[in-house]
Amino acid sequence: MIKKILHSRILKAIIASVAIIVATLAIAMIFGGHNPDSKISRTSMPWEIEPVAGGGSRIFGLTLGQSTLGDAIDQLGESLQVAIITPLNTTAESPENGSPPSALEAYMDPMRTQFLSGRLIISIQVSPEDLRTWRERSVQHHKSDTGAHLDTLSRDDLLNARRAMITGLTYIPGAKIDESIIQARFGNDGSKHQINPDLTEWYFPSKGLAISLNSKGRDLLQYVAPKDFDVRLGAQSLPLKQPSR
């Protein structure tokens, strides 16, 4: 009798333990996990754009036009990848086919906040002279899936690059979004532009935000300081440029 009672209690304990494990795994799947190195709040979401005095904005804890690459590394952790990006068939000195020249970017994949997962690309302001020098001293060269050249900075050059200012962010959501989500999360004050049958873009100048929905490609959310919107993401920039990564 005692053996049966003990056996029953042990069985119940095992079942309870399994249930806890399953529940924990389910929560991790729903919320997408979290980068243990990241100091960004799990409640930071792509639609939480905080106005900053002087025409700036803050997204994911980073203030565009003020925060530096060093701030981003401190916020997101050492898993943030930093490299000089040169699009395919382009050099820093002589871009071809209208492609942008080389640029310094920081990249995180996946970028997880609360129940969302996506990719984050951070645009960093660096002089052409520094880019050229850092490329020559880079310690690793490889290509992205798009064919772009990626050059990893040396340790000393990365230390110098930490002082460079962040000018923009590109967030690529892991799941497709649609017009109803845009209106629900970002409001109805944006202007809609039908670029072609597969590509639609929304502009929110007061938020410094442009959204690109591509039925045959990746959706993009691009952020700049609102005061810089007309120059960096205005109508003359249609359509938005796809990231080189």
Tell me the range of 160-169, 188-197, 223-232 where mean pLDDT is highest.
160-169
* pLDDT over 60 (residue 11): no
Q: How confident is the model at residue 37 (pLDDT cuts 50, 70, 90)?
A: very low
* pLDDT over 70 (residue 233): yes
pTM of the model: 0.76
H or E stretch covering 3: helix 2-31
Query: Which residues, at least 6 apart from 1, have a Cβ–Cβ distance to it below 8 Å?
Result: none
* pLDDT over 90 (residue 28): no
State the pLDDT at residue 231.
83
